[in-house]
Amino acid sequence: MDNEWTIKPKVGFGLISFGMDTNQVAAFSSVYGPLETVTEDADQALGLDDTLAFFSQFASQEDIAAVRGAIEDKAAQRGRQEIFNNGRVFVIYEADRVVSIMASSRESRTNFKDISVFDTAAVDVLRLFEKANGAPGRYRSTQAAFDHIGVSLDAFSLVESGKVQALTASDERFRERTIEVRKEAYISPEEAGSFVVHSVF
């Protein structure tokens, strides 16, 4: 398997490790392809006053203040997203350091435990990560989260009426599969109750 495309829970993805800065990641452009898109959280704060002035017609001052605070707090974290090589790899930064890497199904070399995860049936990939996680995953809509190893999958599964099923190639969403590895598992308190804990074994 190509080490450059190996998912490494709690460490990173391939040659990219958590804690690296943008210059260190840029050094691997010969591997991951050209940097195509950069989005910074600070950009969201531009024109904020005009935007909130418009929405003040429909929302209370308390709601406007809450939205302003959330956007300004996020901008202060100096978040940044970089997209490489036609959406094959996404790198997320906070405070100028890598905290998350996501690979898409456009990159078939992505692997874990010597398994090419985008060339393998979804149910087998879910089992692979559940085993590595040492516990069942959390599922919601097309998301699957394995918190012990900080890995999240999208479009490998679907939750309908509280039941979890693996997606197949016949579902158009299957073509948009992604796998994200984070330094720390992300669990939003507002969303935690909407997930279903499920074992695929």
Cα 3 off chain centre by:
20
pTM of the model: 0.80
* CA dist., res. 108 & res. 22, Å (int): 25
* CA dist., res. 137 & res. 148, Å (int): 9
Average pLDDT for 22-47:
81
pLDDT tens digit sequence for 85-94: 988 999 999 8
Comparing CA positions, the residue from 172, 182, 184, 169 lying closest to residue 119 is 169
Query: Could you tell me which residue, 17 or 47, shows the higher pLDDT?
Result: 17
* 35 has a pLDDT exceeding 80: yes
Average pLDDT for 123-145:
97
Average pLDDT for 173-186:
91
* CA dist., res. 56 & res. 62, Å (int): 10
* 60 has a pLDDT exceeding 80: no
* CA dist., res. 152 & res. 161, Å (int): 21
Comparing CA positions, the residue from 121, 54, 45 lying closest to residue 76 is 45
